[in-house]
Amino acid sequence: MTTVDDRRRYALFGGLAAFFVLFFLAPVGTVFFRAAGETEAGAAWATVVDILTASRTRSVVTFTVGQASLSAALAVILALPGAYLVSHFTFPGRRIIYSLSLLPFVLPSIIVVVAMIGFYGKSGIINRLLGTDYNLVYNFRGIVLAHVFYNFSLAIRVISTAWTGISRRYRESAESLGDSSRGVFFRVTLPLLLPAILTSFILVFIYCFLSFGVVLVFGGIKYATFEVAIYREMFINLDLPAAAVFALLQILFSGIFIVVSSRFIHRSRAEALDTGTVLPSMRTLPLLPRTVMTGYLIVMVLFVLGPITTMVVRAFTTSAGTLGLENFRQLLVPGAADRNVESILRSSVVGVIGRSLLVAAASGTVTFAAATAAALSLRGRRSAAVDNALQIPIGMSLVTVGLGLRLLWQDALPPVVLIVLGQFFVAFPLVFRIIRSGVEELSDRVVNSAAILGASRGQILRDIEMPLLRRTFLNAYAYALALPFADLTIVMAVGRGRLATFPVAIYRLIGFRSFDLALAMAVLYVAFCLVLFWIIDTTSLPRGSLRSERS
Amino acid sequence: MVMVSSVSVRFSRVLRSCASVIVVLLLVIGGGGMVAAGGAGETEEERSEQSTGELIIYTYDAFPEGLEEVITQHFAQEYSVSVTVERFQDTGGLFNEVMLTRGEGTADLVIGLDNTYIGRALEEDLFQPTEPAEIGAVREDLILDETNRLVPFDYGNIVLNYDSQALPDPPTTWEGLLDPALRESIILMNPATSSPGRNFLLLTIAQFGEEGYLDFWQELEPNILTITSGWSDGYGLYSQGEAPIVLSYETSPAYHIAFEDTDRYKNLILGGVGYAQIEVMGVLQDAPNAENAHRAVDFILSPEFQREIALNQFMYPVREDVELPDSFQQLERPGETLFLDITTVDENYETWLDEWEAVMR
């Protein structure tokens, strides 16, 4: 028998499904349909087979999977000690490491490239300090380095969150039963930590698998990911059938990863709730481990902050080579530069800021609302098929989504709406995943145990559900805002040049050879992101967890 | 049981509010769609009645706003025509859009296709012939199609640039470029993905012949730092000081002279030659406002517009009777512009590219 509540759930979920069909499946289907139409009659399969068996396709597959595995493995290995430190001790800079995990989602890849070059490039800081000109980045190494840089703090975030929960709940009880600490690690901690390690590996793997900008610059002619191959076929070789085959392959591969990862992600997120204990300071450690750990921290902070700092310093360097505000003045004060910045950007800088915030707010809110609705309508139901289906957009190439939206909807909807729709599918999988696991976590464990302990319904709501969900919601909202804020592909694909957001402005300045101004723009952008995420992180952290270092 | 039901009451409330948000959004989007669709229908009717009321131009994102304004103002003043400019990411995105919307009558004039797409555009018969009033004033060797379906509006030679601070004593010949002292000193662009890259490959074929170009590339390989996908990536690396030599336009140093007051960046013209990169415009076959599009072609070739090209676009105007700004007059220019026949190139390019990739991979 279906209840009213059930019917509501079905209606809600049906609405969401219709939305997916109309604005995701139908547009993408249009692209594939069109691609099939461009092959000679009856030759569609032959074309597919030709492309699949081409040696270039094979090298795309090997490279994409190879670099993604290596990058993910390195990121996770480097993150493990960091995750241990973050989850067990307080130390200066702990907050920064935690907040930095949002970095990969907000930095447009062109900025990452600029930052990497300033630090690791042939005329970068490292080579200058060593007095050498080693070629560190223009090859396979460069791609992996950039990917590890991008993703390693995300791995720290995922693993440390799990580790925090484990240490408290199980380690203490195991130790009280007389187990040695090494034994505890191998018999208790590691098995419990494994899902989180695998989760972070798969997350990083998927992001590297889908990498575009970094590979475009550092890949030279030798290396291309699927995303790069799709772009090349679609916009340069004008071979839509080939682009479609690559897009299909990419979605197929990511589909497999998503199914595999879904087996771990629920379990690892189950440990994600932090009720907050005061952690010991790292100073309580004996000298040797303390020195090793401090060394590790310094190297890691240099690894992440070095490139960004270099970028910031360059943005503040004047044409005379001294430090100053020249670039920012030219950017912000009309008439301060010979070149007309407003006409290069086709907007004022204030306009860029305002528009970026508005677009991110619109896309972020729509995504957040839909993801919340979906998570609540699925509450208490485990359906791997539905969960996995909702993750599919993550593997769909953005240029394909953009093209599909244009083909199907551009006569009916204005560019701004198309941008919001496109960005919706960029952010939805991750945002939904965060909210879903938060919501599930509540119903299963905490609420029941609180109820068993005799808490009233009102108490549970006020003291447990809302504070805990509030954190999930804010966290999810941060990602919902960050992804569209950093998006260049969708804005460019469907915006018809009308909307200059931050990444577009940076792209335009670089295209006009104004590299110094592009750097200044990038610094403004990063500053905005940091303020935004600092606000969100401060409001979303539960009392006493990361703030404990203050006391 | 009581507790469970209160949970569901609570969440059904949340559900309901979320549902109403979604419904409102769908209504807004659907409503907006209908309004937009209705609007599109109206304009189509209007178009057939008064075909001179507007002009829709397709171009790439980097088309300078300064040039757009010149066109917009001219049409507003002379003909009371409103001009709409639609921009696509790059030349490839632009061409793609033209192909995908052919026959739909969504645009009149396409500005900004270059060498890479000219052959394909002519073959696909996307554009109608034009008879520009001032075509006689255009440099003759830039005219590619006798019926003027595609009309050149600016050009620049593809040459190497160098940073005279990092490389005070640059090579002057092609052989000099192979000097082992220049190991990992050159940034190039991929001929499979970038117009300058493609034109540079063609330049080496024009220079060394089909028999000799691969040998040249093989010897050049150790001196290449990286081959980027697009021009702006490569030029960005160069202006960050990553390598002293870059593949670019003969006009790039003029930018640094005009806007950064520095002449440290110079042209590196080997053997006195460069390869022409020509940008063209064309009136689409199904242009709803064809008359205005033809007027625009005329206007873009006029001295009034051609004068604006140098400092807005950092390319050369196609008319030689237009005075150039100071920053352009300081530039060293190639004595000879090479340009291989478009049809020959289109027939052979895939083979050349495959051979080149086999050598460079």
Q: What is the mean pLDDT of residues A485-495?
A: 87
Residue A323, beta-bridge partner list: A317
Q: What is the mean pLDDT of residues A340-369?
A: 91
Spatial distance between the Cα atoms of B227 and B247, rounded to a whole number of angstroms:
10
Contact across the interface for B233 and A216, Cβ inside 8 Å: yes
% chain B with pLDDT above 70? 86
Does the pLDDT of residue B27 top 60, yes or no?
no
Q: What is the pTM of this model?
A: 0.81
B161: part of which helix (H) or strand (E)?
Answer: strand B151-163
Q: Which one, of A5, A31, A19, lies nearest residue A424 by Cα?
A: A19
Q: What residues in A contact B232, CB-CB < 8 Å?
A: 507, 510-511
pLDDT digits (tens, 9 = 90+) for A375-421: 888 877 778 888 888 888 888 888 889 989 988 998 899 999 999 99
Q: Determine the pLDDT at residue B212.
A: 95
Contact across the interface for B87 and A496, Cβ inside 8 Å: yes
**Mean pLDDT across chain B:** 86
Give the number of other CB atoms < 10 A from CB of residue B278: 25
Which of 145-174 (A) contact B at CB < 8 A? Answer: none
Contact across the interface for A370 and B240, Cβ inside 8 Å: no
Does the pLDDT of residue A21 top 90, yes or no?
yes
Integer angstrom CA distances of residue B313 from A281, B64, B154, B155 = 59, 6, 9, 10
Spatial distance between the Cα atoms of A210 and A255, rounded to a whole number of angstroms:
12
- The alpha carbon of residue B33 is apart from the nearest alpha carbon of chain A, in Å, by 5
Q: Determine the pLDDT at residue A270.
A: 40
Asked whether the beta carbons of B169 and B245 are under 8 A apart, the reply is no
Q: Who contacts A284 (Cβ-Cβ below 8 Å, separation ≥6)?
A: A89
Specify the range with the lowest mean pLDDT, choosing from A341-350, A354-363, A538-547, B50-59: A538-547
Q: What residues in B contact A514, CB-CB < 8 Å?
A: 259
Q: What residues in A contact B27, CB-CB < 8 Å?
A: none
Contact across the interface for A369 and B99, Cβ inside 8 Å: no
pLDDT digits (tens, 9 = 90+) for B233-253: 899 889 888 999 999 999 999
Q: What residues in A contact B32, CB-CB < 8 Å?
A: 413-414, 417
Report the half-sphere exposure of A31 (CA within 13 A, side-chain side): 29
pLDDT digits (tens, 9 = 90+) for A191-212: 888 888 888 898 899 889 988 8
Does the pLDDT of residue B31 top 50, yes or no?
no
Q: Determine the pLDDT at residue B35.
A: 39
Contact across the interface for B88 and A496, Cβ inside 8 Å: yes
Does the pLDDT of residue A89 top 90, yes or no?
no
Contact across the interface for B237 and A510, Cβ inside 8 Å: no
User: Between B176 and A546, where is the model more confident?
Assistant: B176
Contact across the interface for A219 and B64, Cβ inside 8 Å: no
Give residue B80's region: left, alpha or beta (phi > 0; psi -120 to 50): left
Q: What residues in B contact A369, CB-CB < 8 Å?
A: 18, 21-22, 25
Which of 209-228 (A) contact B at CB < 8 A? Answer: 216-222, 228
- The alpha carbon of residue A12 is apart from the nearest alpha carbon of chain B, in Å, by 6
With bands split at pLDDT 50, 70 and 90, how would you rate the model's confidence at A443? Answer: low
Q: Which one, of A40, A118, A92, A38, lies nearest residue A316 by Cα?
A: A118
The 3 state secondary structure assigned to B216-279 is: HHHHHHHHEEEEECCHHHHHHHHHCCCCCEEEEECCHHHHHHHHHCCCCEEEECHHHEEEEEEE
ipTM of the modeled complex: 0.79
Q: Determine the pLDDT at residue A533.
A: 74
- The alpha carbon of residue A362 is apart from the nearest alpha carbon of chain B, in Å, by 11
SS3 call for B127: strand
- The alpha carbon of residue A172 is apart from the nearest alpha carbon of chain B, in Å, by 33
Q: Which one, of B255, B277, B337, lies nearest residue B155 by Cα?
A: B277
Does the pLDDT of residue A361 top 70, yes or no?
yes
Report the half-sphere exposure of A415 (CA within 13 A, side-chain side): 14
Sign of CA dihedral B218, B223, B227, B232: negative
Q: Who contacts B324 (Cβ-Cβ below 8 Å, separation ≥6)?
A: B310, B316, B317
pLDDT digits (tens, 9 = 90+) for A246-281: 999 999 988 888 888 777 655 544 444 444 556 778
Task: Dig out the tokens for A419 from the structure.
Answer: 């941008």
Asked if the C-beta of A315 comes within 8 angstroms of chain B's C-beta atoms, the answer is no
Give the number of other CB atoms < 10 A from CB of residue A135: 18
Spatial distance between the Cα atoms of B214 and A430, rounded to a whole number of angstroms:
48
Contact across the interface for A369 and B226, Cβ inside 8 Å: no
SS3 call for B280: strand
Nearest to A412 among B15, B33, B232 (CB): B33
SS3 call for B113: strand
Q: Who contacts A42 (Cβ-Cβ below 8 Å, separation ≥6)?
A: none
Asked whether the beta carbons of A143 and A329 are under 8 A apart, the reply is no
Sign of CA dihedral A233, A239, A240, A243: negative
Q: Determine the pLDDT at residue B51.
A: 54
- DSSP class per residue in A257-305: HHHHHHHHHHHHHTT------PPPBGGGS-HHHHHHHHHHHHHHHHHHH
Select from B9, B89, B99, B346 the residue whose CB has the most chain A CBs within 10 Å, as the one to mutate to test that interface. B89
**How many contacts does A have with B, using Cβ atoms within 8 A?**
180
Asked whether the beta carbons of A543 and A274 are under 8 A apart, the reply is no
The 3 state secondary structure assigned to A168-222 is: HHHHHHHHHCCCCHHHHHHHHHHHHHHHHHHHHHHHHHHHHHCCCHHHHHHCCCC
Spatial distance between the Cα atoms of A462 and A479, rounded to a whole number of angstroms:
25
Does the pLDDT of residue B13 top 70, yes or no?
no
Nearest to A413 among B33, B88, B226 (CB): B33
Asked whether the beta carbons of B155 and B276 are under 8 A apart, the reply is yes
**Mean pLDDT across chain A:** 82
- The alpha carbon of residue B136 is apart from the nearest alpha carbon of chain A, in Å, by 32
Q: Determine the pLDDT at residue B143.
A: 92
Does the pLDDT of residue B10 top 80, yes or no?
no
- The alpha carbon of residue B67 is apart from the nearest alpha carbon of chain A, in Å, by 10
pLDDT digits (tens, 9 = 90+) for B278-292: 999 999 999 999 999
Asked if the C-beta of A447 comes within 8 angstroms of chain B's C-beta atoms, the answer is yes
Does the pLDDT of residue A38 top 90, yes or no?
no
Residue of A nearest to B19 (CA): A12
Specify the range with the lowest mean pLDDT, choosing from A19-28, B90-99, B142-151, B292-301: B90-99
Does the pLDDT of residue A131 top 80, yes or no?
yes
Integer angstrom CA distances of residue B131 from A29, A359, B279 = 42, 44, 18
